[in-house]
Amino acid sequence: MTLDLDAFIDALPKVELHVHLVGSASVPTVLELARRHPGNGVPATEEELRRFYTFRDFTDFARVYQAVNSLVREPEDVATLVTGLARDLAAQGGRYVELQVTPYAHHLVGMPMRPVTEALDLAARQALDVHGVEMAYIFDIPGEYGEEAARITVEHALQEPPAALVGFGIGGIEQERPKYRDAYRDAFGAARAAGLHSVPHGGEMTGPETIWEVIEGYGAERIGHGIACLADPRLVAYLRDTQLPLDVCPTSNVCTGQVAAIADHPLPRMLEEGLYVTLNSDDPPMFATTLADEYRVAARVFGLGKEELAGLARNGVRASYLPDHRKQALLDEIDALLRGPETHRPDPAASV
């Protein structure tokens, strides 16, 4: 990869559409939380924490994720995670993020809805004022926790929504969802009736049947992952015809064992099939990646050039829930960067 292409990736205006609140916590953010809440088994020095964070396998990832999650005890901790992500994205050319928040996790540790919402609102203002990154939120159900998790998530979304709440999702263990089919369909129905966008995970850990379920049962407007679609030609044709966006996270899929090696990732074939793909990071520090690094993977491993990388960035902007005028400002910046650095002038209105 040439320095020129590397510099282009750094300068490319980016949006992040698939990243999780706890999974976004980088070393500086976790250090702050670990020092605030000592004695949780999370190292409180940078050197030890970097060793702790080194990705080994999915089992170790789950252990690290749970350890970091145990540090999120108070609304202040939620805000710290949000502003930490904004800081990290700003350094990569990130302009806008739709952050996946799991209210049920905060409910389980006794955080009331209103203080959590106030923390999310405050953090969104700080993210924009301090880092120039606009925050939006997606509330997601942890799919293995069933009816109570669905009920709590919907109640928080409808009764105490943060100002920047734009979507409703579901993540977690896909294999557990059929047990709670009706509860999850009902939850998405209520969220959509309230005006929230449907952005569930689907086709990451299971096959095309889960993608069909989120389309037909949840009214999906955008799908997290979706990489299993290629096993079903009828589904591929449907996704191509409808241009339903798929938020793809290549490094994550390898780390979680859904793809054997990065060279085997289906992203190139998805693009060849004419599917609508956006590029995202999922749980970036825990998988030793960043949003910018995902673009580097697309260039280095899949051979994408500037035009193709810009196309992925445009896809992310268009698939986002930004207002149209802010989408256009970011699209204009991407086009200007492609024409040459002398024409690239960041527009402050793009993130206001």
Q: How many domains does the chain have?
A: 1
pLDDT, residue 61, reads: 83
Residue 335 counted as domain residue: no
Residue 280 counted as domain residue: yes
CB–CB of 101/136 below 8 Å? no
Report pLDDT digits (tens) over 48-87. 988 888 888 878 888 888 889 999 999 999 999 999 999 9
State yes or no: pLDDT of 346 exceeds 80. no
Backbone angles phi, psi at 215, to 5 degrees: -75, -50
C-alpha to C-alpha distance for 7 and 99, rounded to whole angstroms:
26
pLDDT, residue 60, reads: 82
Residue 46 counted as domain residue: yes
- Per-residue pLDDT, averaged over 208-232, amounts to 98
Report pLDDT digits (tens) over 240-274. 999 999 999 999 999 999 999 999 999 999 999 99
In this prediction, residue 352 has a pLDDT band, given cuts at 50, 70 and 90, of very low
Residue 352 counted as domain residue: no
Residue 267 counted as domain residue: yes
Choose the weakest-confidence range: 60-74, 104-118, 186-200, 254-268: 60-74
- Per-residue pLDDT, averaged over 338-344, amounts to 68
pLDDT, residue 59, reads: 82
Domain coverage including residue 64: 15-289
**pLDDT mean across residues, the chain:** 94
Choose the weakest-confidence range: 37-51, 85-99, 129-143: 37-51
C-alpha to C-alpha distance for 256 and 258, rounded to whole angstroms:
6
Residue 87 counted as domain residue: yes
Residue 260 counted as domain residue: yes
State yes or no: pLDDT of 212 exceeds 90. yes
Report pLDDT digits (tens) over 297-313. 999 999 999 999 999 99
What tokens does 160 get? 């105490």
- Per-residue pLDDT, averaged over 149-159, amounts to 98
204 flagged as catalytic: yes
Residue 256 counted as domain residue: yes
pLDDT, residue 329, reads: 97
Of these residues, 74, 204, 294, 333, which one is catalytic? 204
pLDDT, residue 213, reads: 98
In this prediction, residue 351 has a pLDDT band, given cuts at 50, 70 and 90, of very low
In this prediction, residue 342 has a pLDDT band, given cuts at 50, 70 and 90, of low
Instruction: Count the neighbouring beta carbons within 10 Å of the beta carbon of residue 195.
Output: 11
State yes or no: pLDDT of 2 exceeds 80. no
State yes or no: pLDDT of 174 exceeds 60. yes
Q: Whose structure tokens read 């809805």?
A: 113
Question: CATH code at 168?
Answer: 3.20.20.140
pLDDT, residue 323, reads: 97
CB–CB of 248/227 below 8 Å? yes
pLDDT, residue 90, reads: 97
C-alpha to C-alpha distance for 278 and 262, rounded to whole angstroms:
17
pLDDT, residue 184, reads: 98
pLDDT, residue 124, reads: 98
C-alpha to C-alpha distance for 236 and 279, rounded to whole angstroms:
18
What DSSP letter does each residue of 9-68 carry, written as one string? HHHS-EEEEEEETGGG--HHHHHHHHHHS-SSS---SHHHHHHHH----HHHHHHHHHHH
pLDDT, residue 350, reads: 54
